Amino acid sequence: MATINAETIARVAEEAFEASQLTSSSERVNALHAIRSELESRREAILTANKEDLQAAQAEVDAGRMSKSLLARLDLGRGDKWNSMLQGVLDVAALPDPTGTVSYATELDDQLELYKVSCPIGVLLVIFEARPEVVVNIAALAIKSGNAAILKGGKESNRTAKLLSDAIQAGLAKTSLPRTYIQTIETRAEVSSLLAMDQYIDLVIPRGSKELVKNIQHNTRIPVMGHADGLCSIYLDETADVEKAKRVIVDAKIDYPSACNAVETLIVHESLLNTVWPEVARALLAANVELLCDESTLKVLSSLQNPPQNLSRLVKSSEPSTYDIEHLSLTLSVIALPSLETAIKFINQHGSGHTDAIITESESAASTFCRGVDSASTFVNASTRFADGFRYGYGTEVGISTGRIHARGPVGLEGLVIYKYMMRSKNKVGHTVGEFGTGKKSYKHQRIETSSVPF
């Protein structure tokens, strides 16, 4: 693909999108099953390529040119990541077709009907770092939702992404969808060129570092959907249960520290400084989490009786800038605040609008927190790690959006469709606007109850 110029890639993607618009939902499902079969049959080769990518990336980490968090995201063989990726394809295939759904229908006049109908966005340009499974996640969502996609992964995952892309195109070749419906590119030069092609590309979705997202936002006229940071917080309310707090906070920090939905800041109600906080801190230190503490929380830990052996090594003073950092590692910023209201204000000031949680036994506090925190996801007594398209039941996700236009939070199929209006006159002579007005006809605006367009 690198030998084809960027304009050709974009134009071919648009042609593939236009050619696919009459493709049935069942054929898209067939394509996803074919892709899943191709991936499974090529598993050994793909994971071997992934190991080669990991070895090369480890050398970059050792040389100080790559972060450990980026390396962690690269491993396709980690835990159940491979099986989850394949299951995600099947889950997306099983979801209802997001296109062709009527959300509003009205009869403007006798035999004149208007329908608001969901439809694909068009051509997506998705740029991401490290995580090779994103190739499959995006491809599945794009195919199911009727969008063509151009994908650019980080150079650190080129070997893996190439074989994943080959499997996807092999699956598409067994259906009526064009092979070029999902394309991959490899160079930054291609990305720079594609970002200027708003005549072909309809939406850019960056997934990666703050620097990546900001760079793309500042260098394109094409709409951008995504998030720059995952600065997630958990607030320990004054009614927090200690065992619940330990379970949820430790999970939110250590389950996958380099993920954008891992907790980065813990806010402790001042009334808990000598009760719940020491127990939570011990649980975190037992998991080797570094704690960057403000004066109040640090003072409590400094005077603990029978302190953990690693306390002096892992507990440190915070700086004002600490609470604006996405650590992406086993590091947690900690601060004590006097009330729920100050905690909400702190999160809205320092957070990134991604996901925040409260640990509380108070229904009132839970309600206030969820409505007062201006984030895409707000949780009660649950780990921030739940903020994920797969866990939300979307099959997988194209990314997480912290924006306020079109899509917010984990973006699944519904975030990859927009809508169009369809009007039909059944009058023998058609309808004209000139028929309506003062002294003429009036619009009926009679609601039509339907979920699909009848023509």
Give the pLDDT confidence score for residue 210 in this predicted structure: 77
Residue of 227, 262, 237 lying closest to 383 (CA atoms): 262
Nearest to 134 by CA among 61, 80, 184: 184
Residues 71, 57: contact at Cβ < 8 Å? yes
Residue 37's contacts (CB-CB under 8 Å, 6 or more residues apart) are 171
What pLDDT, on the 0 to 100 scale, is given for residue 398? 84
What are the tokens at 202? Answer: 């309809």
Helix (H) or strand (E) holding 263: strand 263-269
Q: One digit per residue, pLDDT tens: the chain, 455 residues?
A: 445 799 999 999 999 999 999 999 999 999 999 999 999 999 999 999 999 999 999 999 999 998 888 888 899 998 899 999 999 999 999 999 999 999 999 999 999 999 999 999 999 999 987 789 999 999 999 999 999 999 998 889 999 999 999 999 999 999 999 999 999 998 889 999 999 999 999 999 998 777 888 899 999 999 999 776 899 999 999 999 999 999 999 999 999 998 999 999 999 999 999 999 999 999 999 999 999 999 999 999 999 999 999 999 999 999 999 999 999 999 999 999 999 999 999 999 999 999 999 999 999 999 999 999 999 999 999 999 999 988 998 888 888 888 888 889 999 899 999 999 999 999 999 999 999 999 999 999 999 999 999 99
Q: How far apart are CA 383 and CA 247, in angstroms?
A: 9
Radius of gyration from C-alpha coordinates of the chain: 25
CA neighbours closer than 13 Å in the CB half-sphere of residue 60: 19
pLDDT of the residue at 228: 67
- Least Cα distance to 328 among 382, 294, 290, 301 occurs for 290
Retrieve residue 141's tokens. Answer: 């969502």
301, 314 Cβ separation under 8 angstroms = no
Identify the pLDDT of residue 402. Answer: 87
Strand partners, 151: 126, 184
E strand or H helix at 277, and its extent? helix 276-286
Q: Is 288 exposed, middle or buried (0-12, 13-18, 19+ CB in 10 A)?
A: exposed
Look at residue 7 in the predicted model and tell me its pLDDT. Answer: 94
Structure tokens at 398: 């194209």
Name residue, tokens 């830990």: 301
Give residue 290's identity as a one-letter amino acid code: E
Are the beta carbons of 145 and 413 closer than 8 angstroms? yes
Asked whether 244 and 238 are in contact (CB, 8 A), the reply is no
Q: Would you state the pLDDT for residue 1? A: 41
Instruction: Using CB atoms within 10 Å of the CB of residue 170, give its burial: 0 to 12 exposed, 13 to 18 middle, 19+ buried.
Output: middle
Residue 69 CA neighbour count, 13 Å, CB half? 16
Of 131, 151, 129, the residue nearest 141 (C-alpha): 151
Cα(233)–Cα(322) distance, rounded to whole angstroms? 13
